Amino acid sequence: MLKRSFLGVLFFANVLMAQKFEKLALTPPMGWNSWNNFGCDVNEQLIRDVADAMVSSGMKEVGYQYVIIDDCWQGERDDLGFIQPDPERFPSGMKALADYIHSKGLKFGIYSDAGWQTCGGRPGSRGYEYQDALTYAKWGVDYLKYDWCNTEELNAKGAYLTMRNALYAAGRPVVFSICEWGNNQPWEWGRDIGHLWRTTGDIAPIFDGEVGHGSWNSWGVLQILDMRENIRQYAGPDHWNDPDMMEVGNGMTVNQDRAHFSLWCLLAAPLIAGNDIRNMNPVTREILTNKELIAVDQDALGIQGLKYLVKDNWEVWAKPLDKGALALCFLNRTLQPVEVKLDWNEFPVKDDEFHYQYFFNEKEYKIRDLWAKKDLGTTAKLFMTQIAAHDVVVLKLSPVK
């Protein structure tokens, strides 16, 4: 009895001292999530196979670590209110599945919702936040994506704060992914609550356009890129803007997949794959495991890129990097190839938000093409290239010593 009382006092002391777990996402999280490709069709064998594929494909080697089950894993709550996994889909239980994922050197992620029900109609966490957090800790959960369906009359900041406090009280460090679709400006309040927050509604596997779902739409890559151009100041180590999971390998063209991945890297976005990594073709695998692009995303400065140059049919996104370097992404938004000519002396890059400046007429930089994986000389010469339809050229500029 004394032990139980002590544990109760310790639990409530943790509640009073609650905060988010610090330094779990000093660079944007990398992993895989089931939703984009599989929706509600999830089961334990799929997740085990995905964990195996993350290792065998080389994804783990380049930094992917979270295997995240999205919606529809839930069964019912027991007589005490504790959530149980669907017994038909997850007959071995979540602890056994987490143990398997951990045995691969990976981390285990799960999904819930701040409302009464999840988006897929399964039990949500409203009113059960502390019980769910204790359950996740018992199972060995490392990452929680927390959605926003069926949350009528709830205050977003308050709801996410409650789950943050519950996770902290449970005692197991968990990366907390706020997924309320940007409706309540989470970038303004999310830094002390979560490690990342969705900035828009759901992504769709299209490059340019939108898909209607009755009362809501999902968005193409370019639409998401354009929605939130003025919130980069809120992102940084341990607190990231999240433009949603990636659709690389889910039906777009190779050019579009390459552009999508590049733009997410320039945005310092979480790199959460959403394809069937068990059956990737070599091109998709090459895109998702491009070490030089991943290094741009995972750069130690943690600065989100900005749109710095716009022409009639192409634009350039810039991202300051550690050690005085700079990443540039030349984006062709059109369905026709475009010719690019750039006199470096006429186009200095100025990041007023984070106080970085690059004057190419004063300092020479080496140029590295991160997709061609070759050096292109320096900024002392005019830069010329052709960009295919809906494609990119990504350069890394490093100071010449």
The catalytic residue positions are 147, 202
DSSP H or E segment with residue 5: helix 2-16
Q: Is the dihedral of CA 60, 62, 63, 64 positive or negative?
A: negative
* Cβ-Cβ contacts under 8 Å for 185 (sequence gap 6 or more): none
What are φ and ψ of residue 98, in 5° steps? Answer: -60, -40
Query: For residue 180, which of 112, 227, 134 has the smallest C-alpha distance?
Result: 112
Kindly list the distances between the CA atom of residue 5 and the CA atoms of 1, 9, 134, 169, 192, in Å, as whole numbers in the listed order.
6, 6, 17, 15, 30
Residues 6+ apart with CB under 8 A from 190: 160, 178, 197, 234, 239
d(Cα 50, Cα 349) in Å, to the nearest integer?
41
DSSP H/E element including 266: helix 254-266
Closest residue by Cα to residue 163 from 19, 28, 9:
19
Instruction: Report yes or no: 257 and 390 within 8 Å, Cβ to Cβ.
Output: no
